[in-house]
């Protein structure tokens, strides 16, 4: 006997893990931001290494982590408001804008090679990083969602360090000045985070400003010798968190829900990334192979017992007429840094250096710092008013006791003068000294020499000129080292005198 019947229906299967993750807006947002950030790290791996090196050296760029945290606070505050953009999306426009921004990012990063001597000062590649992040976000999230966070994107421009340096250095350049600027930035970021309305944004900024100032004064009074990064981070970030929390609680207590958003999380407007995401990876890999200017390559000869505190011991055969001390270099090279300028004249003139055998003058600039990298962050153009002058590429010159010097010319087209500069760095193992010798092709005793001056702001004009016209406008392409023998002889005498002084002190 045959029994017929319908087979039992198989149990319906629910959505798999992949489908459940794809339907979770939080997971999708996290994965896509992960793609943007990972590709950014690949594209700017060398840049991030240079920033890390600077932070270890304790330069002013230690503000970056706090700045990024404040931008994240602003972005979180924006995300906790109800979106108002229209549900109109054009995927083709998203991709076009994203690709254009990525091409701009490549171009800006390549511009670093135009001014290698000022790389650590300007860090234009951090500006390229900002453009890359913006372009990548447009490609994976779309233009309208990114536009809703325009306040946070504008704040993220602070990772480009030139404006921060220009503000902090004239205020004193110390930890307190760096902290004041960061508190002001934290107040602005808090205003963006809490700005559901204009009044609430102003209230948030005011609260953050007051709390930040109080916290900064507290750090200054209780921990006056704390590292600069403490001044830059604790008051600003702490004040932003306190002010944002106060206004968040004030807003949520008027509503029944105490969930962070007070509403379901919005789904992403761009359903698939696909080929735009692959294009982002290709751009990142291509940018990885764009080099950054070399840094930290200047030889730094170590000599046990060397006295790095200027002024230098005057060697025989030279007469010192004047010595001037400049304490404002602490803004550039750190606490307890000192710079002196000594006017040295030959004890006896020679026709080898002047046809009338007049004693030649050499200006000796000596400055010390805790780490040699600081001299690359703030090179000579930030110590002297060399704005608009043309520099030749430095050439190596061997000097006594294993010291390596660098010789270059500086052409002042306005005064029709050419300066010859010879500089070197050496250390006692703890602190580093940079010595620069200057001569001028005007051999008169009262010839004009450049006067030390903090020129960070004015150098921005030169930087912009180089940015748009190229490095050739600031380079002496046909240098003539007329005073090479004069400066090499003076440098040898100075080095021997300093090393000889070590032996005398030991006895």
Give the integer Cα–Cα distance in Å for 156 and 137. Answer: 13
Looking at the structure of the chain, the number of domains it has is 2
Within a domain: 379: yes
Q: Are 165 and 456 in contact, with CB atoms under 8 Å apart?
A: yes
Give the integer Cα–Cα distance in Å for 163 and 129. Answer: 16
The radius of gyration of the chain from alpha carbons, rounded to an integer in Å, stands at 30
Residue at a domain's end among 233, 261, 288 = 288
In degrees, to the nearest 5, what angle opens at C-alpha 119 toward C-alphas 113 and 124? 80
Give the integer Cα–Cα distance in Å for 204 and 110. Answer: 40
The residues pairing with 27 across neighbouring beta strands, listed in sequence order, are none
Among 184-193, 251-260, 262-271, 466-475, the minimum mean pLDDT is found in: 466-475
265, burial (CB in 10 Å: exposed 0-12, middle 13-18, buried 19+): middle
* 174 and 246 assigned to the same domain: yes
Torsion of CA 490, 496, 497, 503, to 10 degrees: 180
Within a domain: 481: yes
Q: Which of 477, 372, 382 is nearest to 427 (CA)?
A: 372
Within a domain: 355: yes
* 434 and 329 assigned to the same domain: yes
* 251 and 335 assigned to the same domain: no
Alpha-carbon distances of 166 from 60, 116, 162, 375, 458, rounded to whole Å: 11, 20, 6, 17, 9
Within a domain: 472: yes
Q: Which of 334, 362, 351, 347 is nearest to 432 (CA)?
A: 334
pTM of the model: 0.85
* 387 and 487 assigned to the same domain: yes
* 313 and 201 assigned to the same domain: no
The residues pairing with 429 across neighbouring beta strands, listed in sequence order, are none
Tell me the three state secondary structure of residue 398: strand
* 33 and 106 assigned to the same domain: yes
445-485: pLDDT as tens digits: 788 888 888 766 666 655 555 555 555 556 666 788 889 99
Residue 11 has pLDDT above 80, yes or no: no
476, burial (CB in 10 Å: exposed 0-12, middle 13-18, buried 19+): middle
Torsion of CA 32, 34, 37, 43, to 10 degrees: -90
Rounded mean pLDDT, 188-194: 95
130-141: pLDDT as tens digits: 999 999 999 988
Q: Which domain holds residue 232?
A: 19-288
215-244: pLDDT as tens digits: 999 999 999 989 999 999 999 999 999 999
Residue at a domain's end among 288, 322, 347 = 288
* 99 and 215 assigned to the same domain: yes
* 132 and 218 assigned to the same domain: yes
Residue at a domain's end among 254, 288, 322 = 288
Within a domain: 3: no
Within a domain: 205: yes
Give the integer Cα–Cα distance in Å for 157 and 153. Answer: 7
* 225 and 248 assigned to the same domain: yes
pLDDT band at 86 (very low <50, low <70, confident <90, very high): low
Neighbouring residues of 504: CB distance < 8 A, sequence distance ≥ 6 = none
* 100 and 188 assigned to the same domain: yes
* 73 and 121 assigned to the same domain: yes
Biggest CA pair distance of the chain = 134
Within a domain: 330: yes
321, burial (CB in 10 Å: exposed 0-12, middle 13-18, buried 19+): exposed
Within a domain: 230: yes
* 247 and 309 assigned to the same domain: no
């Amino acid at each position: 006997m045959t029994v017929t019947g319908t087979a039992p229906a198989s149990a319906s299967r629910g959505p798999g893990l992949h489908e459940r993750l794809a339907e979770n807006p939080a997971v999708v947002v996290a994965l896509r931001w992960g793609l943007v950030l990972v590709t950014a790290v690949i594209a700017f791996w060398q840049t991030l290494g240079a920033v890390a090196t600077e932070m270890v050296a304790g330069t002013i760029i230690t503000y970056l982590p706090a700045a990024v945290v404040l931008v994240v606070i602003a972005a979180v505050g924006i995300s906790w408001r109800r979106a108002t953009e229209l549900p109109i999306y054009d995927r083709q426009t998203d991709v076009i804008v994203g690709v254009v921004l990525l091409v701009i990012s490549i171009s800006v990063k390549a511009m670093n090679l135009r001014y290698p001597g000022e790389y650590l000062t300007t860090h234009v590649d951090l500006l390229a990083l900002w453009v890359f992040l913006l372009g990548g976000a447009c490609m994976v999230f779309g233009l309208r969602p990114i536009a809703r966070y325009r306040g946070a994107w504008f704040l993220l421009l602070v990772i480009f360090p030139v404006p921060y340096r220009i503000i902090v250095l004239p205020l004193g350049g110390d930890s307190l000045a760096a902290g004041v600027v960061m508190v002001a930035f934290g107040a602005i970021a808090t205003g963006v985070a809490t700005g559901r309305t204009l009044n609430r944004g102003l209230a948030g900024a005011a609260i953050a400003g007051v709390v930040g100032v109080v916290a900064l004064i507290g750090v200054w009074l209780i921990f006056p010798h704390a590292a600069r990064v403490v001044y830059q981070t604790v008051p600003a970030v702490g004040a932003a968190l306190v002010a944002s929390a106060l206004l968040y609680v004030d807003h949520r207590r008027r509503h029944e829900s105490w969930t962070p958003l007070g509403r379901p999380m919005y789904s992403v407007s761009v359903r698939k990334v696909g080929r735009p995401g692959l294009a982002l990876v290709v751009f990142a890999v291509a940018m990885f192979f764009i080099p950054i200017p070399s840094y930290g390559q200047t030889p730094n000869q170590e000599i046990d017992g060397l006295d790095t505190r200027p002024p230098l011991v005057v060697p025989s055969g030279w007469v010192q007429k004047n010595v001037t001390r400049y304490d404002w270099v602490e803004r550039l090279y750190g606490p307890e840094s000192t710079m002196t300028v000594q006017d040295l004249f030959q004890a006896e003139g020679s026709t080898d250096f002047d046809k009338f055998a007049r004693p030649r003058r050499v200006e000796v600039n000596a400055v010390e710092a805790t780490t040699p990298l600081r001299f690359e962050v703030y090179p000579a153009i930030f110590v002297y008013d060399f704005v608009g002058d043309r520099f030749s590429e430095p050439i190596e010159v061997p000097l006594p006791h294993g010291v390596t010097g660098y010789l270059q010319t500086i052409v002042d087209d306005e005064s029709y003068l050419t300066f010859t500069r010879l500089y070197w760095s050496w250390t006692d193992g703890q602190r580093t000294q940079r010595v620069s010798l200057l001569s001028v092709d005007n051999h008169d005793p009262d010839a004009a020499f450049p006067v030390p001056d903090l020129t960070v702001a004015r150098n921005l004009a030169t930087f912009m000129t180089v940015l748009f016209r190229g490095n050739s406008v600031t380079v002496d392409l046909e240098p003539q080292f007329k005073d090479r023998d004069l400066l090499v002889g003076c440098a040898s005498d100075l080095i021997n005198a300093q090393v000889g002084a070590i032996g005398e002190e030991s006895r």
